[in-house]
Chains A and B, each alone.
Chain A
């Protein structure tokens, strides 16, 4: 028994060391990003590179931010993010209610289609969808980036349906006996109960819409309408890359999601777990 315990202890130490080394590899790039953001231009070009700048140039963040209309880009992004969240949260909870709490002809088949569409890569429909939006004259507006969020998302519908299924039907039946319709039950009874999963969907939507690059790249051509990601790409593309400034704005662009994650860690992780339950 003694030998076994000692063996376990050694194994634990070995694992700890492996994890610690891995953690260093993960954190180093992030630290590098910050240290580069705080360097002066000559320090960035230096070889061999310096771990830390001589003087921490905190003003780099402000300088970098003003090098392109990043405040405008952020505002634009927030508009898209806001409507995407509203659409995803309410529409998907509405649709998921239909799929989990109402019995109707053809439900099983239609839900299979929901699951099947989760497997279709976005690029398969990208070109024809672009044609539709351009015929509607929606190109160079936010509509192509917002409207689809109001038309249901297979993954979110699935996730919310899983949650609805944990709510006992008796509650709903009782309300029905009292004469309540489905709209009332959804809006007044269910909404408060499914708040946690709505929060998860809101967070996933925030992350997706905030970091989306390909959508804005395709649909937005007017510089005043650029999102933060598109703005970053254009900022990088302008002639010689000033890495310290680029790293500064890149880091700033990541802060919203990092803050949200650390405040609402559990909701993020909840969403991941449901995703894993799909199989």
Chain B
């Protein structure tokens, strides 16, 4: 039917017809990218220079950006919170994931069961998991502090102590590192065993093998995960919203992450123009991070031959 339509419009060459077909097939995505990515990006860029509350647009030049950088202390606070959180969370979860994957790649009794257990938390998703951790981290009779008490440590107040809220989130994420572990495990299983055997013949020990074979061969995926992880860390919202109970980022604003502040500006205070300026600043950060990461990975990451085609 579509073919007949093309003939009617005089598209007869094979190349022309293929192009027409191609664009029909990717049309849903094209609509999506225009309506939900490019359009919004342009729109938010324009209104970031305006006093805008979804009804009236009143252009005010750079005022939103000035307010953001020089007046809004919560902006810096939320950015700082997000940075601290991502600098702690991303490396810890990555290193943890790699270590567990390396151990689970050995032939150990009960391996399949262990893999399932370690993966289990990453399919226990949703708001319920956050509640579970609120219960576990209860300062008085939560499980974590009870266990710490057994070995003579007085546990912190976790989610009610501003200094301990971020470690609390990281603890929860470490519990769920099985998802990352699985990625590394898949990669590890593709490393030919003879690499290790050859190294053994040359007298390399376990540690040497780990640093000279495992790490370099894992490096592409580690770097991919670092990029995704850092960008993901800049997406942190739910943790702050749910753990603070009312979305204000309490205690003492320690859970006020960038996106939570953005959310409150946009949907509580209806400062849409200002929120759009924050959107663009976030976009800029993520772009810079992505570019930096690519530059670094070109220098550091080991790619197998033919790994990089197209």
* Cβ contact within 8 Å between B267 and A276: no
Which residue of chain B has the shortest Cβ distance to A228 in the bound complex? B126
Closest Cβ–Cβ distance, residue B169 to chain A (whole Å): 15
B237 interface neighbour in A102, A123, A182, A269, Cβ under 8 Å: A123
Given A132-B40, A258-B123, A127-B25 contact (CB < 8 Å): no
Q: Does A2 have its Cβ within 8 Å of any Cβ on chain B?
A: no
* Cβ contact within 8 Å between B234 and A257: no
Closest Cβ–Cβ distance, residue A50 to chain B (whole Å): 10
Interface residues on chain B, size class: 35 or more
Q: Does A83 have its Cβ within 8 Å of any Cβ on chain B?
A: no
Inter-chain CA distance A105–B133, complex, in Å, is 52
* Cβ contact within 8 Å between A23 and B118: yes
Given A110-B26, A128-B41, A22-B118 contact (CB < 8 Å): yes
With a cutoff of 8 Å between Cβ atoms, the chain A residues found around residue B35 in the complex are: 132, 151
* Cβ contact within 8 Å between B25 and A12: no
With a cutoff of 8 Å between Cβ atoms, the chain B residues found around residue A210 in the complex are: 125-126
Binary CB contact string for chain B from 12 to 24 against chain A (1 if under 8 A, 0 otherwise): 0001001111111
Which residue of chain A has the shortest Cβ distance to B104 in the bound complex? A19
* Cβ contact within 8 Å between B182 and A26: no
Inter-chain CA distance A152–B37, complex, in Å, is 12
Secondary structure call for the A interface:
helix
* Cβ contact within 8 Å between A150 and B28: yes
Closest Cβ–Cβ distance, residue B236 to chain A (whole Å): 10
Q: Does B272 have its Cβ within 8 Å of any Cβ on chain A?
A: yes
- Which residue, A32, A134, A151, has most C-beta atoms of chain B within 10 A? A151
Q: Does A177 have its Cβ within 8 Å of any Cβ on chain B?
A: no
Interface residues of B in 24-82 (CB under 8 A from A): 24-26, 28-29, 31-33, 35-37, 39-41, 43-44, 47, 54
Q: Does B199 have its Cβ within 8 Å of any Cβ on chain A?
A: no
* Cβ contact within 8 Å between B282 and A26: no
Q: Does A253 have its Cβ within 8 Å of any Cβ on chain B?
A: yes
Which residue of chain A has the shortest Cβ distance to B172 in the bound complex? A29
Inter-chain CA distance A83–B31, complex, in Å, is 18
Closest Cβ–Cβ distance, residue B222 to chain A (whole Å): 10
Closest Cβ–Cβ distance, residue A271 to chain B (whole Å): 10
Which residue of chain A has the shortest Cβ distance to B41 in the bound complex? A125
Q: Does B191 have its Cβ within 8 Å of any Cβ on chain A?
A: no
Given A29-B136, A127-B272, A276-B128 contact (CB < 8 Å): no
Interface residues of A in 91-150 (CB under 8 A from B): 91, 94-95, 97-99, 102-105, 107, 110, 113-114, 117, 119-132, 134, 148, 150
* Cβ contact within 8 Å between B231 and A22: no
Which residue of chain A has the shortest Cβ distance to B103 in the bound complex? A15
Closest Cβ–Cβ distance, residue B216 to chain A (whole Å): 14
Which residue of chain A has the shortest Cβ distance to B282 in the bound complex? A124
Q: Does B90 have its Cβ within 8 Å of any Cβ on chain A?
A: no
With a cutoff of 8 Å between Cβ atoms, the chain B residues found around residue A117 in the complex are: 33, 37
Q: Does A233 have its Cβ within 8 Å of any Cβ on chain B?
A: yes
B22 interface neighbour in A30, A98, A278, Cβ under 8 Å: A98
Closest Cβ–Cβ distance, residue A232 to chain B (whole Å): 5
* Cβ contact within 8 Å between A120 and B43: no
Which residue of chain B has the shortest Cβ distance to A105 in the bound complex? B19
Q: Does B204 have its Cβ within 8 Å of any Cβ on chain A?
A: no
* Cβ contact within 8 Å between B21 and A102: yes
Inter-chain CA distance A261–B3, complex, in Å, is 43
* Cβ contact within 8 Å between B231 and A124: no
Given A98-B26, A104-B22, A16-B108 contact (CB < 8 Å): yes
> Which of A55-63, A193-201, A243-251 lies on the face that meets chain B?
A243-251
Inter-chain CA distance A151–B279, complex, in Å, is 22
* Cβ contact within 8 Å between A257 and B125: yes
Closest Cβ–Cβ distance, residue B278 to chain A (whole Å): 8
* Cβ contact within 8 Å between B182 and A269: yes
Given A113-B33, A117-B37, A120-B286, A19-B22 contact (CB < 8 Å): no
Given A23-B114, A28-B143, A48-B141, A246-B131 contact (CB < 8 Å): yes
Given A30-B124, A105-B19, A182-B25 contact (CB < 8 Å): yes
* Cβ contact within 8 Å between B136 and A122: no
Sample of 12 further A-B pairs with CB below 8 A, known A119-B286, A124-B282, A207-B123: A11-B206, A23-B117, A32-B135, A33-B135, A98-B24, A104-B19, A107-B22, A120-B286, A151-B33, A211-B126, A229-B126, A276-B186
Pick 9 A–B contacts, CB within 8 A, sort by A: A27-B117, A33-B135, A99-B26, A102-B22, A119-B227, A127-B44, A148-B32, A250-B131, A254-B125
Residue ranges of B at the interface with A (Cβ–Cβ < 8 Å): 2-3, 15, 18-26, 28-29, 31-33, 35-37, 39-41, 43-44, 47, 54, 100, 103-104, 106, 108-110, 114, 117-118, 120-121, 123-129, 131-133, 135-136, 140-143, 146, 149, 175, 178-179, 182-183, 186-187, 206, 220-221, 223-224, 227, 231-232, 234-235, 237-238, 241-242, 245, 259, 262-263, 266-267, 272, 275-276, 279-280, 282-283, 286, 290, 307
